[in-house]
Amino acid sequence: MIPGGKHVGLERFEFAIDEEHLDDIYIRAVQDEYTKIDESWLQLHYKTSVVLVVFSLLIEIAMGIILVNSDMLTTTVYRFFIKFLIIPSGVNFICIAIETMIMRSKRFPQNHKIYAISLIFVGIGFVLFTVHSTFTATYYIFAIAIMLTAIYADYRITCITALASISSIIISELFLEWDIDKISIFENTHRMGDFLISLSVLIAFSIACMAVIRFERRKNSAGIQKEIERQLLQQSVHMDEMTGIYNRKAFRAEMKYVEDTASDRNYILAIVDIDKFKNINDTWGHHVGDRCLIEFANILKEFLLDMTPFRYGGDEFCLLFCGKSMEDAEAICGEIKARVNLLFFEDYPKLMLTASFGLASISGQVDTVRLFIHADRALYEAKKVRNAICVF
């Protein structure tokens, strides 16, 4: 297995990826992972709102029973249950129903669902705060609403949720009077103090969440950059610089992986030589020989879905087939051979390339050394004829 978790014989990825393309590929992969994390957190966000509504209903029922059986009730039992239990709980359960429809809908993209759940959570908090604003602890519902958005690392959603929470407190305290026993903040310095402190705490909490998001983004960006650098380094170690396909080091690592993990899989190894390559270097120069190697490697890249190519050294290449029959492997090698024969170099019209292929197969308990020796023997026979395919 190639370090980094990529098994060459089983997973394909583009060869010779430049740094810019690798940046794009890895950033997309990271974004996909972040999307999955956000999706999981969104589910938890939704479930938290459901738990809040159910828990508040149970608390309201318990408080109602206590008040009904005491002398603290200042209104009729019927009016109390309608005003403090049925109406607020009914509104909140309607909010939960809306949340559920949004979560189950496939028409809403994930970011729209995040906004909807975050703002509906604030709406639930607004109902509970308006009904029970005499209890100072209800201020903390909005702090929870803001905190739950921080994991999305999105300034806008956290900012909008914070503004909605602060507005809910102001509207509830200044313009609504659901509880007739509620003391106005303008009539009681203690209530005014709680109001101002709650606003200050929510603003400070929102700023703190923004700071957390900022540093979390910086940390993620640094992590992405380091991983890109690691991927580039790994690529340089296991890629042949000139041809852009896997090198001998990668081939040895893959052979070890195959030998360690193979069970009932069928492996076929083809060793390929460009015929009379030394003559090409001697006649036209090494720069032309390098060009031939590059063109040959480009042809091999066209068959990445069928096999994995390696440059073993010089003009020798190895092709590893997994799960293919020998007939399929021979046919693929035949297509490669035909493509090589059709190569035309405008600057060197007399230059004609041919290649010889030696194939061997093995399955069950894989002995990769024997597999290589058998393929090399087949190549030896093919080179006697040249431009041929031989099977051990």
pLDDT at 226 exceeding the cut of 80: no
pLDDT of residue 39: 93
pLDDT of 376 over the 50 cut: yes
Q: Which of 66-70, 150-154, 245-249 has the highest mean pLDDT?
A: 150-154
Residue 24 has a pLDDT of: 62
Residues 346-370 have pLDDT tens digits of 778 788 888 899 999 876 666 788 8
What is the percent of the chain with per-residue pLDDT over 90, rounded to a whole number? 31
- Mean pLDDT is highest, among 27-31, 166-170, 334-338, for 166-170
**Which of 5, 35, 6, 26 lies closest to 224, judged by CA?**
26
Mean per-residue pLDDT over the chain, rounded: 84
Share of the chain above pLDDT 70, in %: 89
Please write the tens of the pLDDT for every residue from 65-111. Answer: 888 787 777 777 888 888 888 999 999 999 999 999 999 999 999 99
The pLDDT value recorded for residue 45 is 96
pLDDT band for 34, please (50, 70, 90 cuts). confident
Task: Give helix 155-175 / helix 110-131 axis angle, nearest 10°.
Answer: 20
For 117-128, how does the pLDDT look when each residue is reduced to its tens digit (9 = 90+)? Answer: 999 999 999 999
Domains of the chain: 19-229 (no CATH), 248-391 (3.30.70.270)
Judge whether residue 2 has pLDDT over 50. Answer: no
Confidence (pLDDT) at 92: 95
pLDDT at 6: 40
Distances (CA, A) of 109 to 40, 45, 106, 115, 146: 15, 16, 7, 10, 21
